Amino acid sequence: MPTPHEAEKQNTGPEEADRPPSMSSHDAAPPAAPSRNPCCLCWCCCCSCSWNEERRRAWQASRESKLQPLPSCEVCATPSAEEVQSWAQSFDKLMHSPAGRSVFRAFLRTEYSEENMLFWLACEELKAEANQHMVDEKARLIYEDYVSILSPREVSLDSRVREGINKKMQEPSAHTFDDAQLQIYTLMHRDSYPRFLSSPTYRALLLQGPSRSSSEA
């Protein structure tokens, strides 16, 4: 006559009979890791999923391992009173003056738009480059610093210009960013330049000019 335990085993199906005994609360397996969010398959950075976080960390590590490729400042002499006054005549005169660019850049920094000047300067540096290897490297760094949506210094460009840049980056040249540079130049001219002329920074330079000239005489 079968024992109660053997009878219980006979009443269970073959699958249940071969099943290992249930684990106690101390032997319970750890919970399964959550499945990857479907948004991780997208190429953009519209979400904060782990895949995009890894991309951001990789970009940061890449930037930290490089030397700064762009001019951090311009060496220029103290502008004369006449030069300071000429900056109000046209935006071109301001941008063609090293001292003017330096003062304007400091003003842009107060408006949290210094990246516009930095991008413009980087494009000027790229256009002066003749070595194709350096052109490729500088173009890539400009893209990472000012065009990539991952960059904290991304400049404001319309979709048409961005699409053109993405195509040209397949074979970069010294003029890959010409359309973007013109767009940012126009933005600074129309938006920031009028405020610069009426800013305390520029007015103070105008007031200092005559006194400095008379003291030097």
In eight-state DSSP terms, residue 150 is T
C-beta separation of 181 from 142 below 8 A: no
Angle CA 57–60–178, to nearest 5: 125
pLDDT digits (tens, 9 = 90+) for 156-208: 999 999 999 999 999 999 999 999 999 999 999 999 999 999 999 999 999 98
* pLDDT at site 20: 44
- Please provide the distance, in angstroms rounded to a whole number, between the alpha carbons at the two ends of the chain: 126
Domains of the chain and any CATH numbers? 82-207 (1.10.167.10)
9: its two tokens = 């085993």
Residues with Cβ < 8 Å from 192, sequence gap 6 or more? 104, 107, 108, 111, 113, 116
Dist CA 103 CA 76 (whole Å): 11
150: its two tokens = 């991952």
Residues with Cβ < 8 Å from 214, sequence gap 6 or more? none
Rounded mean pLDDT, 21-33:
45
| H-helix segments, the chain | 4-11, 14-18, 50-64, 81-86, 91-95, 98-110, 114-127, 132-142, 159-168, 178-187, 193-197, 200-216
36: its two tokens = 């990857």
Task: Kindly report the pTM of this predicted structure.
Answer: 0.65
Residues with Cβ < 8 Å from 104, sequence gap 6 or more? 94, 95, 117, 188, 192, 193, 196
pLDDT digits (tens, 9 = 90+) for 35-55: 434 443 333 444 445 544 555
pLDDT digits (tens, 9 = 90+) for 54-83: 555 554 554 444 434 444 445 567 889 999
